[in-house]
Chain A
């Protein structure tokens, strides 16, 4: 019934793999254990698990393995589980825990939540958010269905699920932009620095949309959970279908 895909890079020691396996066996939810390699990617392992008629595919690792499994299971009746190892706070909040033992318990209780995921045109997906990896304020253009937005941004975050922002529509992405003013030098810069706090608050923008196109003057990475998931220019959208995800009792 349970098909586990381990991300060995996220395991602190090899003994942690054994600990997790033993704990799952003690809970009575042991299953088939697999490991991605050059011969079989995470996506190929998910396909293999589905072909073998497993109804629960569990990622053991961080945000990357979670996102890659989610991209294959969205719209499917099979359920996704996650045993988190060094996952982002948002992902921990989504599944209800950052502790692998608690997550294993949750697999046994099997409380399933249906959730949309974020998709990019390059075939990747994200459960939580996507950050534009900006080192300096950068001119960005966000093209929505009925309007386009231009800003000199210090940060752009596209969220499917985030603890920072209240979700208004489950099938919409929440887009946060923090903008900087036009380039200033010398005394103008010093004076504007005095009022920086207020300006920073006013420089916050938020938009809700099913999809958007994101453009930058030069190519910039889009990161999720610390790894590069896509690059600009990019089409980003909310999935039309749900992912069935095992979450904690309080999520």
Chain B
């Protein structure tokens, strides 16, 4: 793990500020600020984070006070504690985990774009209908 992870915050270490990484992050210490990775974030049992946690995959065994946003998968282990809202495409909460907040499931980009297309169609239909109604009422034909 030591060699494959971009950044590791050890136990009894305090980090203040925003940690943004392309590679994976492992946290066993304390962070006061935002933690963001383009890959994975692993939050160990001894970790406490006050701030948003954002990554592709997030595994939580420690404590997070703040928003958690996993674009792929969020796993909260039995020792994990989250006090804040979460967003994840796939969510696993193990028995014993504590989660206080609102959960939102993010859908895939394809589904989102399909939904957006449908919304646009609906709006167009509504506009056309509204236009027809306007025309029916004689706004455009009135001389």
B14 touches A182 (CB 8 A): no
Residue from B6, B13, B18, B33 within 8 A of A177 (CB atoms):
B13
Nearest A residue to B21, CB-CB: A208
**Which residues B1-41 have CB closer than 8 A to chain A?**
2-20, 23, 28-29, 33
A181 touches B11 (CB 8 A): yes
- A180 part of interface (Cβ distance < 8 Å): yes
CA distance A147 to B19 in the complex (A): 7
Given contacts A147-B33, A151-B12, A179-B13, contact A166 B3 (CB under 8 A): yes
Given contacts A165-B3, A166-B4, contact A179 B20 (CB under 8 A): no
B11 touches A149 (CB 8 A): no
CA distance A202 to B8 in the complex (A): 9
B13 touches A149 (CB 8 A): yes
Given contacts A166-B3, A168-B23, contact A202 B14 (CB under 8 A): no
- B80 part of interface (Cβ distance < 8 Å): no
Given contacts A202-B46, A205-B29, A206-B2, contact A148 B10 (CB under 8 A): no
- A122 part of interface (Cβ distance < 8 Å): no
CA distance A203 to B47 in the complex (A): 12
A151 touches B10 (CB 8 A): yes
B42 to chain A, nearest CB (A): 12
- B44 part of interface (Cβ distance < 8 Å): yes
Residues of chain A at interface, number, CB under 8 A: 25
Given contacts A146-B20, A147-B17, A147-B18, contact A180 B7 (CB under 8 A): no
Nearest B residue to A175, CB-CB: B7
- A207 part of interface (Cβ distance < 8 Å): yes
Set of chain B residues within 8 Å of A204, measured between Cβ atoms: 2, 8, 10
Set of chain B residues within 8 Å of A199, measured between Cβ atoms: 11
B10 to chain A, nearest CB (A): 4
Set of chain B residues within 8 Å of A149, measured between Cβ atoms: 9, 13-16
Residues of chain B at interface, number, CB under 8 A: 25
B12 touches A203 (CB 8 A): yes
CA distance A151 to B10 in the complex (A): 9
CA distance A251 to B33 in the complex (A): 40
B33 touches A150 (CB 8 A): no
B16 touches A179 (CB 8 A): no
CA distance A198 to B33 in the complex (A): 27
A209 to chain B, nearest CB (A): 10
- A210 part of interface (Cβ distance < 8 Å): no
Tell which of A168, A180, A199, A202 has the most Cβ of chain B within 10 Å: A202
Set of chain A residues within 8 Å of B3, measured between Cβ atoms: 165-166
User: A185-215 toward B: CB 8 Å interface, digit per residue (1/0)?
Assistant: 0000000000000010011111110000000
What are 25 pairs between A and B in contact, CB < 8 Å?
A146-B17, A146-B19, A147-B15, A148-B17, A149-B9, A149-B13, A149-B15, A150-B13, A150-B16, A151-B10, A151-B12, A151-B13, A152-B12, A166-B4, A168-B6, A168-B23, A179-B10, A199-B11, A203-B11, A204-B2, A204-B10, A205-B13, A206-B5, A206-B8, A208-B7
A149-B14, A203-B11, A203-B13 known; 4 other A-B pairs, CB under 8 Å? A178-B10, A179-B11, A205-B13, A205-B29
Interface residues of B (CB under 8 A from A): 2-20, 23, 28-29, 33, 44, 46
